[in-house]
Amino acid sequence: METKPGLPNTQPLLDYFNKLIPLNPAEESWYVPNFIRTCFLKKQFALQHGDVCEYFNFVVRGCMRLYRVDDKGIYHILQFATENYWILDLTSFHKKIPAKLNIDDRTYYPPIDTSKIIDAATARQAGAVSVFIGTVRNQTAGKEVVKLEYEAYEPMAINEIQKVIDMAKKKWNLTGWAFSHRTGTLMPGEIAVAVAISTPHRKDSFEACQFIIDTLKKTVPIWKKEFFRDGDQWVSAHP
């Protein structure tokens, strides 16, 4: 767990506060450094029975589960928290006593189905479909990559993607397009991004596909954390 002041994925929490009590820039600048961002793997614990609950957890993306396990080993689910919901063991937090509840991640990030991407971009009037598939490489600057974690601010990302597509439509006669980018944890060899573009002629299809993926990589708010055997680092999600 680490503090990341100013990371764009603090924006959903600021949006949540601003809907209730609008914050001025000075208040936002005070709040943001106090946000602690973390990314959980599926089934990873955010809180375990016996630990003291130290945080109010706000779910930016995915799903968290609050539950207890009785003496017979039976699970009793008390809450599921999805996007823009809070989750914590309130008694443990306020009284600073060991938690009797557990919180874990129940998010499922499905792999990209490239056949669906191609189908979505294909049109009867198209004579060509170009596809770009980006995968997780196993090294960066000679260092072995163990895994990646992708983060995105989805509302802004969707807006930026549409802007890029609109730019491409002014340059080429697009008959169809589709784009998908994974978030969460990916291992080397897994598909991270896929773009499919269809046009009446192959030259336009090649050019439009390259323009779109190159521009998306520069403008869409997606970040990745590279994990090595001896450390990790945050980088923008560029090739």
Who has greater pLDDT, 2 or 200? 200
Q: How many CB atoms lie within 10 A of CB 11?
A: 16
At 168 the pLDDT is: 96
Q: Which residues contact 94 (CB under 8 A, 6 or more apart)?
A: none
Pairing between β-strand 128-135 and β-strand 75-81 as defined by DSSP bridges: unpaired
Closest CA to 44 of 109, 111, 107: 107
The phi, psi pair for 207, rounded to 5°, reads -65, -45
Amino acid at 161: I
Closest CA to 217 of 174, 160, 171, 172: 160
Most confident listed range (13-17, 105-109, 204-208):
204-208
Q: Are 97 and 91 in contact (CB under 8 A)?
A: yes
Closest CA to 127 of 179, 175, 177: 175
d(CA 190, CA 169): 30
At 15 the pLDDT is: 86
At 152 the pLDDT is: 80
- What pLDDT, in 10s, does the model give residues 128-152? 999 999 999 999 988 999 999 888 8
d(CA 162, CA 3): 31
At 86 the pLDDT is: 95
Average pLDDT in the 194-219 region?
Answer: 95
Tell me what the pLDDT averaged over the chain comes to: 88
Supply the pTM of this predicted model: 0.60
Q: Which residues contact 77 (CB under 8 A, 6 or more apart)?
A: 65, 66, 67
- What pLDDT, in 10s, does the model give residues 60-70? 878 999 999 99
Task: Identify the CATH homologous superfamily for domain 114-236.
Answer: Molybdopterin biosynthesis MoaE subunit (3.90.1170.40)
Structural domain boundaries in the chain: 2-105, 114-236
**Given a cut of 60, is residue 123 above it in pLDDT?**
yes
For the 2-105 domain, the top CATH level (class) is mainly beta
**Given a cut of 50, is residue 232 above it in pLDDT?**
yes
Amino acid at 171: K
At 12 the pLDDT is: 82
**Given a cut of 90, is residue 109 above it in pLDDT?**
no
Closest CA to 103 of 57, 36, 37: 57
- What pLDDT, in 10s, does the model give residues 34-56? 887 777 766 789 999 999 999 99
Rounded to 10°, the helix 202-219/154-171 angle is: 150
Who has greater pLDDT, 43 or 18? 18
At 29 the pLDDT is: 83
